[in-house]
């Protein structure tokens, strides 16, 4: 009886505590929501002296004459709430430099604010400034261009937001639900391009192989259609035959490449010129397969006559696309794998060419590959055809007037770094962007050198896609074997390092699709450095002997020396010409593999785990799939969680979890070569090939034949 009363009393006391707790005033949790309006600049409702213009990476509204009272563009916006908003504009100027250029904002004919346009010919975001919206409902927003130099201004997007901390990243989309499509695994290696005929292509590929350079692909650029005439055209552009004199049997060169697991590509554009291509021009014309009426082409690009009719193929017409694929099929039958697009990168054009590589390529299992220009950066659908190149780069350290639309020089080394690392730029959201390693054209520059080539090489290898290419008149064609021995060794080292990093890079390619966050991340302040994945800090260098680097919070290992640097501050770091400053976040796990000359000939059967001990627990989830099919789109892939955690002062615990998921070709077991950085000469038990390097303070050991479905856990003791 007493026992029951005790528990009854205890229950009553506990109930009272709960009741009193429930009666206490609760701190109200406020849900903060922000208004966010995105306006595409070309969708204006009214304008004076403005027009719609394609500009480099997007479709823009262009102010032809800067007259403050008569030069405006208007937009109708439905505001749900009144109050203070911040407004910013993605803008560019046709002239350089621009001083005191500004845009002013009127709401219902009342001036509400102004902002300065940055001195840049590239489309970048202005600073955001506050404006007051007095009324809800439909409001007329009028933007005026005020520029005393009468420069042409371009605006591409306008954003109004109530979020005081909002910072744009690349283009902003109203509902960006498009997930990036992954290139095939081989595309994450090293690709080359050139203006070479059949015999020269064979010689160049063989030279790259013989000299030990990684090579995963090689494309023949625009001269493929008219090599004997140095690409002058209009003969061959595009006749779907190619230059039979210079490429008598493409299957020979493409067959040689296929034997070495090297993919082959060619250049195409989206039109047909009449002169020299009369038969195919007439066929498309008679079938009504041109977009609009053919026109007289007086542009001299691949048109030495400056006077021929041209028809732009209507890639929105399924029948036109079908005929185009039929005409292209013989090239794929001879061994063609991928295509580089030029002149246009409209979504319908990219889609048709991408599908052709998927459907017609002999080696693909459905995962196509194209490289397109930047013109559709503003469209989220570009993520379905995600690899782009940055334009005709200037062979120079930097190009202050980039992009120069007069000669189409789209930036030198510095600007190409900023294209991927600066969140303010329109190019930032391209998931897989590449530049012509070494620069494409001189454009009046005299700066081509071994030093420039080495620095560009170092940067290019820390891009998702790496391409080496230049104009036909370049004396070295940006092929590594045409530079000094020092430059060649730098190229080999970083190309092999990129191949070694494939498990890491390919994992982040999957995360780009899964999370929407691209592999390269910049902070918007330090515009020539970036994170390459979450673990690596990359700081490309120009001509300087030192590099000012901001280290994010935490500790960072020097990749080459293991020196530890505390984060949260900026430091000046010496920069050897042969090495790009490269740092690894403390607590990281980097999965590498032994490199070969082709991505497809290497495997993840033996992974090299580089462990960088830190204060916090470290983790890396390795993503894998078959690398060539589209099965990953349906979740057919594998994930392996690898963690390290400190065990007080006694060491680390390394855990490799059982593999989750499956895919065709997955190995049931693999080995791990573990390398612990900045560690002690105390080795774990039950491991093979134990070794301690006293100079570098690195502990190495091997875990052999680990069954993938079992996983493993091991203690790594400390002193």
Residue range 462-472, pLDDT digits in tens: 999 999 999 99
403 cis-preceded (ω within 30 degrees of 0): yes
CA distance 456 to 458: 5
666: left (phi over 0), alpha (psi -120 to 50) or beta: beta
Span 645-659, mean pLDDT?
A: 89
Q: In the predicted model, what is the mean pLDDT of the chain?
A: 92
Strand order in the sheet with 72-79: 46-48, 72-79, 137-146, 102-107, 110-116
At CB < 8 A and 24+ separation, what contacts does 363-368 make? 363/258, 363/263, 363/337, 363/628, 364/184, 364/337, 364/628, 365/626, 365/628, 365/629, 365/630, 366/628, 366/629, 366/630, 367/182, 367/183, 367/184, 367/627, 367/628, 367/629, 367/630, 368/338
Whole-model pTM above 0.85? yes
Per-residue model confidence (pLDDT) at position 70: 62
Neighbour tally for 330: CB within 10 Å? 14
Per-residue model confidence (pLDDT) at position 4: 40
Span 184-199, mean pLDDT?
A: 98
Distances (CA, A) of 256 to 198, 260, 456: 11, 7, 29
Span 335-355, mean pLDDT?
A: 97
CA distance 382 to 325: 21
pLDDT level of residue 18 (50, 70, 90 thresholds)? very low
CA distance 644 to 714: 10
Per-residue model confidence (pLDDT) at position 95: 64
pLDDT level of residue 615 (50, 70, 90 thresholds)? confident
pLDDT level of residue 31 (50, 70, 90 thresholds)? low
Span 411-419, mean pLDDT?
A: 97
pLDDT level of residue 87 (50, 70, 90 thresholds)? very high
CB 271 within 8 A of CB 343: yes
308 cis-preceded (ω within 30 degrees of 0): no
Distances (CA, A) of 175 to 36, 87, 714: 12, 19, 46
Per-residue model confidence (pLDDT) at position 98: 59
Which range is least confidently modeled, 103-112, 326-335, 585-594, 620-629? Answer: 103-112
Per-residue model confidence (pLDDT) at position 101: 74
Per-residue model confidence (pLDDT) at position 6: 35
Residue 549 pLDDT exceeds 50: yes
467 strand-pairing partners: 191, 436
Packing angle of the helix pair 413-421, 450-460 (nearest 10 deg) = 10
Which range is least confidently modeled, 104-108, 495-499, 605-609? Answer: 104-108
CA distance 219 to 194: 7
Per-residue model confidence (pLDDT) at position 148: 57
Per-residue model confidence (pLDDT) at position 69: 55
The stretches of 238-307 forming alpha helices (DSSP H) are 250-259, 278-286
Tracing tokens 């290696």 back to the chain, one arrives at 189
Per-residue model confidence (pLDDT) at position 29: 46
Neighbour tally for 378: CB within 10 Å? 25
Structure tokens at 132: 């007051």
pLDDT level of residue 329 (50, 70, 90 thresholds)? very high
Residue 603 DSSP class: -
């Amino acid at each position: 009886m007493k026992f029951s009363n005790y528990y009854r009393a205890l229950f009553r006391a506990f109930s009272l505590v709960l009741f009193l707790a429930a009666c206490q005033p609760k701190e109200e949790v406020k849900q903060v929501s922000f208004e966010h309006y995105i306006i595409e600049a070309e969708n204006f409702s009214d304008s004076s002296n403005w027009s719609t213009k394609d500009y480099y990476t997007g479709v823009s509204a262009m102010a032809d004459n800067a007259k403050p009272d008569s030069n405006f563009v208007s937009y109708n916006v439905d505001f749900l709430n009144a109050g203070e908003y911040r407004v910013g504009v993605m803008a560019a100027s046709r002239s350089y430099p621009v001083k005191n250029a500004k845009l002013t904002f009127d709401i219902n004919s009342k001036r509400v604010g102004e902002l300065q346009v940055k001195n840049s010919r590239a489309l970048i975001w202005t600073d955001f400034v506050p404006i007051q919206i007095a009324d809800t409902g439909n409001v007329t927003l009028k933007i005026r261009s005020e520029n005393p130099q009468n420069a042409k201004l371009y605006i591409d997007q306008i954003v109004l937001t109530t979020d005081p901390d909002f910072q744009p990243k690349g283009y902003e989309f109203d509902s960006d639900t498009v997930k990036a499509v992954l290139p095939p695994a081989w595309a994450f290696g090293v690709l080359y391009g050139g203006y070479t005929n059949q015999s020269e292509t064979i010689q160049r590929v063989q030279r790259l192989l013989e000299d030990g350079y990684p090579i995963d692909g090689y494309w023949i650029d625009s001269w493929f259609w008219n090599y004997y005439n140095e690409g002058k055209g209009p003969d061959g552009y595009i006749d779907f035959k190619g230059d039979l004199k210079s490429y008598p049997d493409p299957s020979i060169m493409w067959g040689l490449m296929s034997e070495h697991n090297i993919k082959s590509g060619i250049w195409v554009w989206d039109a047909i010129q009449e002169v020299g291509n009369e038969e195919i021009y007439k066929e498309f014309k008679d079938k009504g397969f041109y977009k609009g009426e053919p026109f007289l082409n007086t542009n001299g690009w691949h048109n030495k006559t400056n006077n021929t009719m041209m028809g732009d193929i209507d890639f929105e017409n399924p029948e036109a696309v079908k005929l185009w694929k039929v005409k292209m099929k013989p090239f794929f039958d001879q061994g063609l794998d991928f295509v580089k697009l030029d002149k246009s990168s409209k979504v319908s054009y990219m889609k048709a060419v991408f599908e052709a590589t998927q459907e017609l390529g002999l080696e693909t299992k459905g995962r196509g590959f194209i490289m397109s220009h930047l013109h559709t950066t503003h469209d989220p659908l570009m993520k379905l055809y995600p690899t782009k190149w940055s334009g005709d780069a200037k062979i120079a350290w930097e190009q202050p007037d980039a992009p120069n639309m007069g000669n189409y020089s789209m930036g030198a080394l510095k600007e190409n770094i900023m294209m991927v690392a600066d969140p303010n730029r329109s190019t930032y959201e391209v998931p897989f962007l590449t530049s012509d390693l070494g620069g494409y054209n001189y454009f009046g520059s005299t700066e081509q050198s071994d030093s420039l080539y080495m620095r560009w090489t170092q940067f290019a290898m820390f891009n998702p896609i790496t391409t080496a290419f230049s104009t036909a008149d370049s004396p070295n064609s940006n092929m590594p074997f045409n530079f000094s021995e020092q430059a060649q060794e730098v190229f080999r080292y970083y190309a092999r390092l990129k191949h070694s990093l494939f498990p890491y890079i390919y994992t982040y390619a999957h995360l780009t699709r899964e999370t929407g966050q691209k592999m390269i991340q910049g902070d918007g302040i330090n515009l020539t450095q970036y994170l390459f994945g979450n673990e690596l800090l990359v700081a490309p260098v120009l001509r300087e002997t030192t590099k000012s680097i901001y280290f994010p919070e935490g500790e960072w290992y020097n990749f080459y020396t293991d020196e530890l640097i505390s984060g949260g501050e900026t430091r000046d770091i010496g920069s050897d010409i042969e090495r790009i400053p490269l740092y690894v976040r403390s607590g990281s796990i980097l999965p590498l593999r032994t490199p070969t000359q082709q991505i497809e000939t290497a495997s993840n059967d033996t992974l090299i785990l580089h462990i960088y001990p830190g204060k916090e627990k470290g983790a890396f989830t390795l993503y894998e799939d078959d690398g060539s099919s589209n099965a990953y789109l349906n979740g057919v892939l594998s994930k392996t969680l690898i963690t390290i955690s400190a065990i007080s002062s006694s060491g680390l615990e390394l855990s490799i979890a059982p593999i989750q998921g499956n895919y065709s070709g997955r190995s049931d077991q693999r080995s791990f070569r573990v390398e612990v950085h900045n560690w002690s000469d105390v080795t774990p038990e039950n491991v093979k090939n134990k070794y301690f390097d006293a100079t570098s303070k690195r502990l190495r050991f091997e875990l052999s034949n680990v069954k993938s479905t079992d996983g493993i856990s091991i203690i790594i003791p400390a002193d």
